[in-house]
Amino acid sequence: MLSLRVLLAASSALLPLAAHAQDATQLPPVDADAANPVDNVGTAPITGQELTREAIKRRQNATSDTGDLLRQLPGVSANSGGGFSSMPTLRGLSQQRLRITVDGAPIDLSCPNDMNTPLSYTVPQTIESIRVVPGVAPVSMGGDNIGGIISVESVAPRFAADGATLVTGEVSTFYRSNGDGFGGSALLTVANANLSATYTGSYTQAQQYKAGGDLGRVRSTEYAKTDHALALALQNDAGLFKLKGGYHFSPYEGFANQAMDMVSNKSWFLNAGYDGEFDWGSVKFTADYRDTDHEMNFLEDKLPGAMPMITEVHTFSTALKLELPVSARDKLRIGGEYHHQWLNDYWPPVAGNMMMGPNTFVNINGGTRDRIGGFAEWEAHWSDTLSSVIGARLDHVRMNTGQVQPYSTSMMNMADATAANAFNAVGHKRTDNNWSASALLSYAPTSGVAIELGYAHKARSPNIYERYTWGRGTMASRMIGWYGDGNGYVGNLNLKPERADTVSAAIEFKGTDNAWSLRLSPYYTHVNDYIDAAFVKNLTHPMSGLPMPFVQLQFANQKAEFVGVDVSGQVELWDGGKDAGTRLSGSLSWVRGQNLSDHAPLYHQMPLNVKVALDHHQGPIEAGIDLEWVAEKTRVDATRNEPVTSAYALVNLRLAYNLGPVKLSVEAENLFDKGYNLPLGGVSLGDYKATGVLRPVPGRGRSVNFGLSASF
């Protein structure tokens, strides 16, 4: 509890700043992102979902993982990774099939295990909103995805009234008893009527967490990271100009379901943008650059031994979007974008180790992935109750990489030496032309009923690791893959782009003054050339030759389908006026993913799950209880030896007290310390290395979390 006392004391020392801050005059912010999902679907009321700042605040003391926050939304789940690096899935389609942007900038795969996920560069305490559009997303929101869009937005620029100066911000801190996790964040904005500067900074760290019940400690779950960013904005008659730069550093992050851990991740970025409004329409221009240096090795639970793995990535993107109101009824959106990724992945030799030397293992040698795309989209408001959005786009993808090499050509490395020769003997350049289209029809016959129908054809080219990894040895192949299953993966130069056709519908009923609502959304997706995995061989230990409980797989095009339904609703139980009320909300999600080529279940499909929340606020007091029930998972991928998991139910309690600008909160997460295994957690390789027992990754046990924040 020493960490808690130190943090709370530090935050208390900052609170007097509120008394000295000038009164803030907040003008309506000029929003930074024209690719707002809600804006882009016109009058369609139910396509996208959003986590607002208030919803994020309710969970930010319990997790440092933005992907975990998204599990509040129906149809969204998360594949387990590190403590701040889970991978979101939308309606059964994994992160690698989604377009994820942070302040409008895409973040590429930068690790053979996808440890530094796009959302790992975000911090719950400094996020303003997260918008999610699954399946049938308008083509103007981006290409090269088949599963949907996740858009994370930081605080929009704020400006003072004419002649005034605005100084505003927020500081916060938290402590979590399970894993001794703690951290803090700060946000400060200084602005006048034309110039705005906003600094955000945060730090978080935690030790290994304890599972519920008698499942014990979960090894390789410690982490630490810090993030800093400075955003500048200028507004005048010409429009809004933005410039933002930042730095991320993680000295370590354990991965319970991977053979490796992250021992360093350094990344810096620079984003620039312009938003302009004119008589003829609006324009949005963005450009961004990111440089990442990533290193994997073993943390304490996977010692003894060493195996450094280094990845260097540079990315650059630019996009231009125009919106043209061609009539009172019609809007036309046109635009284009360019995205470049360069990636080097190599494994230095280990002194004294015959298997890992004497040469550097070159996994990816200057791999490049360039994409240029363009779109046109037509939005029409046919009446006050009927609207449509129809669009098409083309994305041209070019990929290439250089020659590779194994650690050596000795008998011990013969499988990799043979594979390297075969890879180097053929050309590596690949080109894809991917067409996409989307159509949405929205109809609101009354003020309390809204109906939406949608269809989309989307395409995604393979990523660099899916196409260009080549190692065939046990150790080399097990270093590839983001599935958390312990298996080895081999790339495939002959992969085709995935092509998905999605049909979705939604109907929403609402009561007067939003006293109640009910939303029902069924969907179906068929994917041609779905990138799954084909069996190659059973793996044996590279030193002893004994059988291992893992297999080697190769990325392969197959056919797949997803069918499911999301249900959500809420009802106001008591309306006590502006400062008091009680509301009950809930959601249900079900998805069935099937491989149509081998007629087996797809990997990492979330079983039926139900969430219920009861929230009450009265004056300065906020209280809530959350219930989550997850069904038994028996539909598993036998090719990957995916484990079965049992059903479970969790209970969380929340309580907060507001004293002016200061908020103190406490919650009990997993109140009854329920022991359970994560359906999308994979296998616990950190525990396997230490105990020799292979088990699913257990979920977190009871944790009492404290939070303190102050705004000024």
Burial class from Cβ neighbours inside 10 Å (0-12, 13-18, 19+) for residue 5 reads exposed
pLDDT of 28 strictly over 50: no
Residues of the chain by 3-state class (helix, strand, coil), percent to 5? 10, 55, 35
> What's the CA gap between 391 and 373, in Å, rounded?
13
Q: pLDDT digit string (tens) for 57-103?
A: 999 999 999 999 999 999 999 999 999 999 999 999 999 999 999 99
Residue 13 has a pLDDT of 34
> What's the CA gap between 137 and 143, in Å, rounded?
10
Q: Which position has the token pair 């916060």?
A: 172
> What's the CA gap between 696 and 257, in Å, rounded?
9
Q: What is the mean pLDDT of residues 422-435?
A: 98
Least confidently predicted of 9-13, 378-382, 434-438: 9-13
Contact indicator for 147, 94 with CB cutoff of 8 Å: yes
Nearest partner of 334 among 140, 101, 137, 136, judged by Cα: 140
Cis-peptide into 358, omega within 30 deg: yes
CATH code for position 547: 2.40.170.20
Mean of pLDDT over the chain: 93
Residue 47 has a pLDDT of 63
How many other CB atoms sit within 10 Å of the CB of residue 522? 15
How many other CB atoms sit within 10 Å of the CB of residue 383? 10
pLDDT of 45 strictly over 90: no
> What's the CA gap between 407 and 66, in Å, rounded?
37
> What's the CA gap between 168 and 155, in Å, rounded?
12
Residue type, 206: A
**Paired tokens of 40:** 């882009």
Least confidently predicted of 203-207, 352-356, 699-703: 352-356
Q: Coil, strand or helix: which one is 603?
A: coil
Q: DSSP character for 485?
A: S
Cis-peptide into 304, omega within 30 deg: yes
**Paired tokens of 16:** 């007097």
Structural domain count, the chain: 1
Residue 35 has a pLDDT of 31
Identify the H or E element spanning 559: strand 547-575
Q: Which position has the token pair 């404290």?
A: 706
Q: Coil, strand or helix: which one is 139?
A: helix
Burial class from Cβ neighbours inside 10 Å (0-12, 13-18, 19+) for residue 65 reads buried
In this prediction, residue 514 has a pLDDT band, given cuts at 50, 70 and 90, of confident
Nearest partner of 396 among 144, 92, 649, judged by Cα: 144
Nearest partner of 447 among 518, 519, 510, judged by Cα: 510
Beta bridge partners of 431: 398
Residue 613 has a pLDDT of 97
Least confidently predicted of 376-380, 538-542, 603-607, 611-615: 538-542
Q: What is the mean pLDDT of residues 122-145?
A: 95
Residue type, 629: W
What's phi and psi for 119, nearest 5 deg?
-75, -10
Residue 46 has a pLDDT of 63
**Paired tokens of 696:** 């699913």
pLDDT of 23 strictly over 70: no
Nearest partner of 117 among 72, 75, 147, 79, judged by Cα: 79
In this prediction, residue 543 has a pLDDT band, given cuts at 50, 70 and 90, of confident
Contact indicator for 293, 250 with CB cutoff of 8 Å: no
Residue 43 has a pLDDT of 34
Q: pLDDT digit string (tens) for 387-416?
A: 999 999 999 999 999 999 999 999 999 999
Strand boundaries in 52-180, DSSP class E: 76-79, 87-90, 99-102, 105-106, 127-134, 148-154, 166-176
Residue 42 has a pLDDT of 42
124, 125, 129, 133: CA torsion to nearest 10: 0
In this prediction, residue 36 has a pLDDT band, given cuts at 50, 70 and 90, of very low
> What's the CA gap between 274 and 157, in Å, rounded?
13
What's phi and psi for 510, nearest 5 deg?
-135, 145
Strand boundaries in 109-165, DSSP class E: 127-134, 148-154
Q: pLDDT digit string (tens) for 2-20?
A: 343 333 333 333 333 333 3
How many other CB atoms sit within 10 Å of the CB of residue 300? 14
Q: Coil, strand or helix: which one is 8?
A: helix
How many other CB atoms sit within 10 Å of the CB of residue 517? 17
Cα separation values, 410 from 305, 365, 369, 422, Å: 21, 22, 33, 16
Q: What is the mean pLDDT of residues 594-599?
A: 97
Residue 542 has a pLDDT of 82
In this prediction, residue 48 has a pLDDT band, given cuts at 50, 70 and 90, of confident
Least confidently predicted of 111-115, 573-577, 582-586, 672-676: 573-577
Q: pLDDT digit string (tens) for 283-339?
A: 999 999 999 999 999 998 888 889 999 999 999 999 999 999 999 999 999 999 999
pLDDT of 470 strictly over 90: yes
Nearest partner of 318 among 275, 273, 358, judged by Cα: 273
Residue 302 has a pLDDT of 87
Contact indicator for 367, 343 with CB cutoff of 8 Å: yes
> How, if at all, do strands 99-102 and 49-51 pair?
unpaired
Q: Which position has the token pair 């793996």?
A: 539
> What's the CA gap between 483 and 522, in Å, rounded?
27
Domain of 75? 2-711
The full DSSP string for 410-434 is SGGGHHHHHHHHHHHTS---EEEEE
634, 635, 638, 644: CA torsion to nearest 10: -30
Contact indicator for 186, 143 with CB cutoff of 8 Å: no
Residue 548 has a pLDDT of 94
What's phi and psi for 429, nearest 5 deg?
-70, 135
Question: How many residues are there in the chain?
Answer: 712
Residue 29 has a pLDDT of 34
Distance, first Cα to last Cα, the chain: 28
pLDDT of 22 strictly over 70: no
pLDDT of 24 strictly over 80: no
> How, if at all, do strands 166-176 and 127-134 pair?
unpaired
